[in-house]
Chains A and B, each alone.
Chain A
Amino acid sequence: GQNIDQPTEMTATEGAIVQINCTYQTSGFNGLFWYQQHAGEAPTFLSYNVLDGLEEKGRFSSFLSRSKGYSYLLLKELQMKDSASYLCAVRDNDYKLSFGAGTTVTVRA
């Protein structure tokens, strides 16, 4: 089975940095994904990690430690449009994704 945990909610100020943690216990591991989902919309892909370390993509970075079953998504220079849910997902050895419940980030002016 898959167990993926992430905080339910986080609040931060515009221009600040927020780190969303994700821990996982899965029966297999074949990559970790982060998706962004604005309210009432479809999820959209943000990042992919399969090896340990940091992947940077503009204002967003994602980190993975396979030995610790841990990832985080770092959002820098927060903007109001970053208010959304952020979904952590793990791909198993059968190539299927299991999603965490999502972290709702609220950016305040």
Chain B
Amino acid sequence: IAGITQAPTSQILAAGRRMTLRCTQDMRHNAMYWYRQDLGLGLRLIHYSNTAGTTGKGEVPDGYSVSRANTDDFPLTLASAVPSQTSVYFCASSEVAGIGADTQYFGPGTRLTVL
């Protein structure tokens, strides 16, 4: 069982380019999340999905879009990358959003640099 996988591991991208970060989980979790982590700011929620077919905006959604066509996959797209989107991106999943301990399991992260 792999848990959560993310691709690519790292990427250098020219500003203005379109980029999709991939996230796949094999735990059949209902909820999935995308965070960005910047030095001194901690993890900030970009978008989330409580179940397949639904998505919601987090704290910093501008410039990003997501889709949740099935339970396992939750891609994050940057339509036109800007340097301020340089960050480490973590995908996470949890069994059911907000119930009990509802532990979130994190993927290994994608380090994105926008030049």
Contact = CB atoms under 8 A, between A and B. Distances in A.
Interface of A: 4, 30-31, 41-45, 48, 87, 89, 91, 94-102
Interface in B37-76: 40-45, 48, 50, 58-59
Interface of B: 33, 35, 40-45, 48, 50, 58-59, 90, 97-98, 101-109
A87 B98 CA distance: 18
A63 B44 CA distance: 24
B102 A41 contact: no
A21 B45 CA distance: 22
Nearest to B88: A40
Contacts of B103: 45, 48
Tell me the interface secondary structure of chain B in the complex: loop
A77 B64 CA distance: 43
A59 to B, nearest CB: 19
A96 B43 contact: no
B1 to A, nearest CB: 16
Contact of B108 (A41, A96, A97, A102): A41
B42 A96 contact: no
A87 B101 CA distance: 16
B45 A96 contact: yes
A75 B27 CA distance: 30
A42 B42 contact: no
Contacts of A91: 98, 102
B102 A95 contact: yes
A89 B90 CA distance: 15
Contacts of B101: 31, 48
Contacts of A96: 45, 48, 58
A42 B44 contact: no
